[in-house]
Amino acid sequence: MMPTMTKRLLLALLCLPLYAQAENILLKLSPEQIKSSSITAQPLNSFESGGGRRLPAQVVVPPRQIEVISAPLAGAVTAVLAAYGESVNSGQPLVRLQGAQMLELQRDYIQAQAQAEVASESLRRDEALHADGIIPGSRLSVARAAERQAAAQLAEKRQSLRLAGLGAPGSAAKGFSGIAEIRAPFAGVVLESAVQPGQRVESNALLFKLGRIDSLLWLEVQATPAQAAGLAPGDKVMVAGCAQSGRLTLIAPHMNPATQSLLLRAELPKPGSCVKPFQFVQATITPTTPPSGNTWRVPVSTLVRHQGKVWLFAAVAGGFSPVPVTVLDETEKTSLVSVGMPGETRVVTHGVLTLKAAWLGLGAAAD
């Protein structure tokens, strides 16, 4: 003999096509079955109406607030002075590099400095000779031009040293060492550290990514079209723990082909310490224009999934009927759903699994 449960399961599978219009089904249970299964119902309007949509979001740093620190010249990394996740101040050393090209820059600076001194001395001498009438004005003009050219070359070499993170040779800071010290151009946080001590890097190789995070951060949400329906740029966005609210700035006009979702982006000003870059948070988006129709935040336990849809069981005359709903967001305990029923409709809050079993033919229903 085939076990009773197996018979019921086969019967349910055979009858699935009959449930294509499931919302028209009436499930009849006897008072004894309702009592033994502790089936209870309450009006939709006893739940929270509408409200914000709670969606998972990731905190990201806007691209305009990220700066790449690259190697000015090829060389070896002698020291890494900042690590991923650390906050740094403007001018703080990040990494030290050493190489032959650094020595060449310092040598070129020494040569330009010597030429500038010679040109300056020659100009002073020719100015004195011209004042005494010994040399013509044309020679003085040539000396002035040579002095200006030498000064420009010295300024160029000095700027090259600065861009490479090198000190002027002979200064108290560094001396003729061939060691470049790369410093943070602004106060921020290290978003990426791409080098290790002893590593050799080429010119323009990535060393660090720094981000400014004090003034503004982004929240990025991957939402279904149903979750994004009714939302618009300008809607208020809140994150638990953050005193300052943000605003929705973008709803992407196209789907992400990999996730089949829409990108929602919000700006969160002055985040302080309430969120961190790359953190996952729960964002509450409140539409400026309230959604049309009935939206209610119901316990997750009141919902069932079947035939690729989400359903509530409504208490109607003579029994219970499954009603399809649209889930706008879902948290661990509650879901925001759009329901095509008036707020006075009573929906089942306990005993949902018993009704689903009866619906699928796995439980006994009253005749």
Q: Express each pLDDT in 117-167 by its tens digit.
A: 888 888 888 888 888 888 888 888 888 898 899 888 888 878 777 777 776
**Same domain, residue pair 250 and 188:** no
CATH number at residue 270: 2.40.30.170
- Average pLDDT for residues 69-81, to the nearest whole number? 89
Pair 71, 184 in one domain: yes
309: number of Cβ within 10 Å: 14
**In the predicted model, what is the mean pLDDT of residues 309-327?**
91
Question: Considering the entire predicted model, what is its pTM?
Answer: 0.62
Separation of alpha carbons 218 and 111, rounded Å? 50
The tens digit of pLDDT for each residue in 19-67 reads: 334 457 888 888 888 888 899 999 988 888 877 888 899 999 999 999 9
* Residue that is last in its domain, among 158, 179, 211: 211
Q: Under 8 Å CB-to-CB from 212, ≥6 apart: which residues?
A: 61, 65, 186, 187, 188
User: For residue 30, what are the domain limits?
Assistant: 4-50+292-359
366 part of a folded domain: no
How many angstroms separate the CA atoms of 49 and 282, rounded? 20
Residue predicted with more confidence, 310 or 104: 310
Same domain, yes or no, for 72 and 203? yes
Task: Tell whether 90 and 147 lie within a shared domain.
Answer: yes
- The per-residue pLDDT for range 162-198, each reduced to its tens digit, is 777 776 665 444 456 678 888 999 999 999 999 999 9
140 and 268 housed in the same domain: no
Higher pLDDT, 335 or 103: 335
The CATH number assigned to the domain holding 72 equals 2.40.50.100
